[in-house]
């Protein structure tokens, strides 16, 4: 039998962890409990974080959106500031699992599971998200791309939790998107995905462009040197084609039950083109351009 303890605040959390040093923290449980049942994970004591209220809130402060680690995907969908300022993240939250999974699964769990296929990760990479980590001695802030070390591996220390995700609100006029290819639309782990963050000048030249691909390497992959080559150039399908091809040459996909590595590379090359369609639909560009 496993012990399951749900502390009400951080003081109780650290006390519990001191008593059970090997305890495993649990967010929504949609990943951990499946892993435990399949004996892929071990835990003698589970510390559920769901009752720690400070972890369950979204707030705005000094131009940043602060998202508590225990905020569920559904809460993200229901938060107007997320919909307004972070449409890419909002779009990713909308395609996680199923409604019930979105009611249980949390942004903190999605991050700490560190799956290359985690849906909220590519948008968070493009947003330059920073993570507040909490431990009994205090706290520290780590950029997301330094926090995730590999599949299932993070920079979390023993007895440390992710408490908040900090996202600087993008400049007005910034567009952000998330595109996902799965075997079906619901309850699908992505075969490949891409988040984009784009700021265009009135003449449609690229002021800033950031792209992050999911499920095509050990972590989410972003290529700042490629992004730089886009700056100042006119946004066009040709430009996206060029970007897709260059990215496809750089990603490191594997073949697994969901898709072949070659197929994933093709997706990486093609996903940027969805941006063309999205912008045409928004009337920013014409469809035949």
Partner 1 sequence: MKITFYLNNVKQEIETQPDRRVVDILREDLGLTGTKEGCGSGECGACTILADGVSKLSCLMLAAQLENRRILTIEGLASGEELHPLQKAFVEKGAIQCGFCTPGMIMAAADLLQRNPAPDRKDIRTALSGNLCRCTGYQKIIDAVESAAETMRNKA
Question: Shortest distance, CB of residue 6 to partner 1, whole angstroms?
Answer: 6
- By CB under 8 A, name the one of 21, 37, 158, 282 that touches partner 1: 37
Residues 124-143 contacting partner 1, CB under 8 A:
none
5 belongs to the binding site for partner 1 (CB under 8 A): yes
SS3 134: strand
Residues 195-214 contacting partner 1, CB under 8 A:
none
Distance CA 4, CA 280 (A): 51
| Nearest 10 degrees: Cα torsion 119, 120, 125, 127 | 140
22 belongs to the binding site for partner 1 (CB under 8 A): no
1 belongs to the binding site for partner 1 (CB under 8 A): yes
Residues 236-265 contacting partner 1, CB under 8 A:
none
Question: Shortest distance, CB of residue 249 to partner 1, whole angstroms?
Answer: 35
Which is nearest to 267 in space by CA: 165, 140, 147, 122? 122
Residues 167-186 contacting partner 1, CB under 8 A:
185-186
- By CB under 8 A, name the one of 12, 14, 16, 29 that touches partner 1: 29
Contact 273, 236 (CB under 8 A): no
Contact 52, 25 (CB under 8 A): no
Cβ proximity to partner 1: between 119 and 227 the closer is: 119
- By CB under 8 A, name the one of 13, 23, 27, 46 that touches partner 1: 46
Cα dihedral sign for 156, 157, 159, 165? negative
Q: Which residues contact 116 (CB under 8 A, 6 or more apart)?
A: 151, 214, 215, 216, 217, 218, 219, 220
50 belongs to the binding site for partner 1 (CB under 8 A): yes
Q: Which stretch binds partner 1 (CB under 8 A): 29-37, 148-156, 171-179, 251-259?
A: 29-37
Question: Shortest distance, CB of residue 160 to partner 1, whole angstroms?
Answer: 22
The CA angle 34-35-36, to the nearest 5 degrees, is 90
> Which phi and psi (to 5°) does residue 138 adopt?
155, -140
SS3 30: coil
Q: How far apart are the first and last CA of the chain?
A: 62
Question: Shortest distance, CB of residue 130 to partner 1, whole angstroms?
Answer: 30
Contact 204, 228 (CB under 8 A): no
Residues 212-231 contacting partner 1, CB under 8 A:
none
Q: Which two tokens stand for residue 268?
A: 């990486």
Cβ proximity to partner 1: between 88 and 97 the closer is: 97
2 belongs to the binding site for partner 1 (CB under 8 A): yes
Cβ proximity to partner 1: between 76 and 279 the closer is: 76
286 belongs to the binding site for partner 1 (CB under 8 A): no
Residues 65-104 contacting partner 1, CB under 8 A:
74, 97-101, 103-104
Residue indicated by tokens 């989410």: 220
27 belongs to the binding site for partner 1 (CB under 8 A): no
SS3 249: helix
Interacting residues toward partner 1 by CB under 8 A: 1-6, 29-30, 33-34, 37-38, 46, 48, 50, 74, 97-101, 103-104, 185-187
């Amino acid at each position: 039998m496993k012990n399951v303890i749900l502390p009400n605040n951080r003081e109780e959390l650290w006390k519990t962890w001191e008593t059970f040093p090997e305890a495993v923290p649990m967010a929504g449980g949609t990943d951990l409990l499946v892993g435990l049942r399949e004996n892929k994970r071990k835990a003698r004591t589970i510390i559920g974080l769901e009752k720690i209220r400070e972890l369950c809130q979204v707030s705005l402060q000094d131009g940043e959106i602060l998202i508590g680690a225990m905020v569920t995907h559904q809460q993200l969908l229901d938060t107007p500031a997320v919909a307004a300022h972070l449409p890419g993240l909002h779009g990713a939250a909308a395609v996680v699992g199923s409604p019930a999974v979105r009611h249980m699964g949390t942004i903190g769990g999605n991050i700490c599971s560190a799956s290359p296929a985690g849906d909220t990760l590519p948008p968070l990479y493009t947003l330059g998200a920073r993570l507040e980590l909490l431990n009994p001695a205090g706290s520290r802030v780590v950029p997301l791309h330094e926090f995730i070390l590999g599949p299932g591996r993070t920079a979390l220390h023993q007895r440390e939790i992710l408490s908040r995700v900090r996202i600087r609100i993008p400049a007005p006029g910034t567009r952000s998107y998330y595109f996902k290819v799965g075997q079906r639309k619901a309850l699908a782990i992505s075969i490949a995905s891409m988040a984009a963050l784009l700021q265009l000048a009135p003449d449609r030249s690229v002021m800033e462009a950031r792209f992050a691909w999911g499920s095509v390497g050990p972590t989410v992959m972003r290529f700042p040197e490629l992004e730089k080559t886009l700056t100042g150039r006119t946004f066009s399908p040709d430009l996206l084609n060029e970007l897709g091809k260059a990215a496809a040459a750089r990603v490191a996909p594997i073949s697994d039950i969901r898709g072949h590595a070659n197929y994933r590379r093709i997706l990486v090359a093609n996903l940027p083109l969805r941006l063309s369609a999205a912008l045409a639909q928004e009337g920013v560009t014409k469809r035949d351009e």
